[in-house]
A and B are shown apart, each in its own frame.
Chain A
């Protein structure tokens, strides 16, 4: 009898741990889904303007949080434009001018191709647990799904957003919504993630809508057409020489 009571208590304890995991455990689960050693993906970005919308297709290669390479495939005006990120440096190559331009300083805060994304947004790929302290605020329901609400406060200075609020799908450990705040508390951006699919055994959102809260408009849709994780990528892809090839 005593053993049975102990067993019930243990099961109840385990259940309560499962129902309310720690913030660190949640964010670790998210990182496991969202981050990878390498990734190769083809995506389309739809930028909604007041007069018309534009769709840009690109192919990207990424390795860890230090290296990425993107080539724009369409439309014709942007086709052949390439971007290379190595650690904290970003270069853009424009075939029409045969120039490699380094983007730095406050230019990194500028919009990429008129979208709601900045170069800084594109460059930030560090593990969240490396740069934020995470706190679990509670549970909510979002889009009929149970979500954990996390608050992340920056513990480093070189960061675009001092505070983040994330709504994490409790079952799949994938963010469904995120709000990004400035140091002064102003809401700068809101992202909505959807079309969560299983890719190579992990849950991954295939569509993200970015909304710059300081701009009018409908936001920018970023949709992944195809993605592969943990593929071997030739080292020369992440070199400045690759920009002109």
Chain B
């Protein structure tokens, strides 16, 4: 029976081409957008986690209140003890201290006087410890344009844009002029080991990356850090685990009134990421639902047109004694075949488009800057196993639904008037 139906569909192009094309387009869009949004949300979450918020983040309560100012005078003290405690309590996570700082990056002339200067957005991470994963976590090796990672105390990476503006190259000296943790003046000379470009305007304008030990010396922050970031060892953000870690940690300090007591946040709590995570969580489902409804309406219409075109055929079949239910079921079987054909074609085309977007991405740099979140400039799709089957849901269901609606007319045909109709 199925072979008979498939042969009929293939031979009668009018019956198959338009619905299959509509389905293929819908499925392609489903697959493409599903992969695209997954890529975009994953990139946003990873960038924010790796550069700014970790999967969990520990700060003092006072620092957390004024977090946007990165107030190092309110930083965590006794970091080594707290780190030991975190490692012991949550061994499935990597805990790393970081210091954010601002200031002026001053470029000297031959006499040691100011030749040029710009605003510095600094971050201190662990470059030198054995087995540190911090440079890779921030994709620093992949972002180096000139030179190399800092190898010794006094080395610094600066943004490539800043280096170009002042004609700097690896080996040149710059002075960081900022404030110590106590608010005093801080002057530190650094040698540029390399230049970096992250593809994020916030970092690329005037970034300087130095080792934690150098920042502590420069900012008078011995055994202190603005933040301690926690990353799940799996590398993937797990909302439930991050929540349980946060609740377990904060419970220990619940009775403390100290404004400098540590407090933990998870990624969701930071930079409006909760909304984005919620969107990413439900996006695929919502998009499939919308496409099923939209395609069903289109295919219902197509089915109605087909039903009109096949009015005589159904009439003859009914007149020859075929059961109305059988005619209806065969219509649905045809729809299933057309839906599968369209879904296969749409999935293949959608995957091809997703592969292109995964490989090359789209640069939306100028459109996404200025928010509180860190955003990559190039957004890429991310193909996952979901993309291989998600298109079949709207593809098959919509055509079945559309044809089921259109096929209701079969049951309204009166057999008593069939011969009269057919004789015309």
Contact = CB atoms under 8 A, between A and B. Distances in A.
A78 B112 contact: no
A37 interface: no
Interface in B79-108: 104, 106, 108
B114 A114 contact: no
Nearest to A72: B185
Interface stretch (B33-41, B173-181, B198-206, B290-298): B173-181
Contacts of A54: 182-184
Interface stretch (A100-108, A146-154, A185-193): A100-108
Contact of A49 (B73, B106, B113): B73
A102 B185 contact: no
Contact of A78 (B117, B184, B259): B184
A115 B189 CA distance: 24
A52 B182 contact: yes
Contacts of B183: 47, 49, 54, 111, 113-115
A113 B185 contact: yes
A109 interface: no
A92 interface: yes
A interface bracket (residues with beta carbon within 8 Å of B): 20 to 34
B182 A101 contact: no
Contacts of A99: 106, 108, 112-113, 175, 187, 189
Contacts of A49: 73, 182-183
B204 to A, nearest CB: 20
B113 A81 contact: no
B62 A101 contact: no
A98 to B, nearest CB: 6
B189 A50 contact: no
Contacts of B175: 97, 99, 101
A96 B187 contact: yes
A2 interface: no
A114 B112 contact: no
A94 interface: yes
B188 interface: yes
A228 B344 CA distance: 91
Contacts of B179: 111, 114
Contact of B185 (A51, A81, A91): A81
A113 B117 CA distance: 19
B interface bracket (residues with beta carbon within 8 Å of A): 20 to 34
Nearest to A81: B185
Contacts of A77: 180, 184, 220
A101 B177 contact: yes
A100 B112 CA distance: 6
A47 B181 CA distance: 13
A68 B235 CA distance: 56
A227 B314 CA distance: 110
A240 B113 CA distance: 10
Nearest to B75: A51
Interface string B393-404: 000000000000
Contacts of A97: 175, 187-189
Given A114-B73, A114-B179, A92 B185 contact: yes
Contacts of A75: 184
Contacts of B355: none
Contacts of A92: 177, 185
Contact of B114 (A50, A51, A101, A115): A101
Given A99-B106, A101-B114, A102-B114, A50 B73 contact: yes
Interface in A35-77: 47, 49-52, 54, 56, 75, 77
Contacts of B22: none
B242 interface: no
B390 to A, nearest CB: 51
A47 B179 CA distance: 13
A100 B182 CA distance: 22
A44 to B, nearest CB: 14
A51 B74 CA distance: 8
Q: Which of B73, B108, B114 lies at the interface centre, i.e. has the most chain A CB atoms within 10 A of its CB?
A: B114
Q: Which of A52, A97, A114, A240 lies at the interface centre, i.e. has the most chain B CB atoms within 10 A of its CB?
A: A97
B185 A50 contact: no
A20 to B, nearest CB: 44
Contacts of A78: 184-185
Given A50-B73, A114-B179, A100 B113 contact: yes
A47 B113 CA distance: 29
Contacts of A101: 104, 106, 114, 117, 175, 177, 187
Contacts of B113: 91, 99-100, 102, 240
A84 B179 CA distance: 19
A97 B112 CA distance: 9
Interface in A84-128: 91-92, 94, 96-102, 107, 111, 113-115
- Please name the 9 residue pairs, one residue from A and one from B, whose CB atoms are nearest each other, closest first: A114-B183, A94-B187, A102-B114, A97-B187, A97-B189, A100-B113, A99-B175, A101-B106, A99-B112
Given A50-B259, A75-B184, 17 more contacts: A49-B73, A50-B74, A51-B73, A52-B182, A77-B180, A92-B177, A94-B187, A98-B112, A99-B175, A100-B113, A101-B187, A102-B113, A107-B104, A113-B183, A113-B184, A114-B182, A115-B183
28 contacts: A49-B182, A49-B183, A50-B73, A51-B73, A54-B182, A54-B183, A54-B184, A77-B180, A77-B184, A78-B185, A81-B185, A91-B113, A92-B177, A92-B185, A94-B185, A94-B187, A97-B188, A99-B106, A99-B112, A99-B175, A99-B189, A100-B112, A101-B175, A102-B117, A111-B183, A113-B183, A113-B184, A115-B183
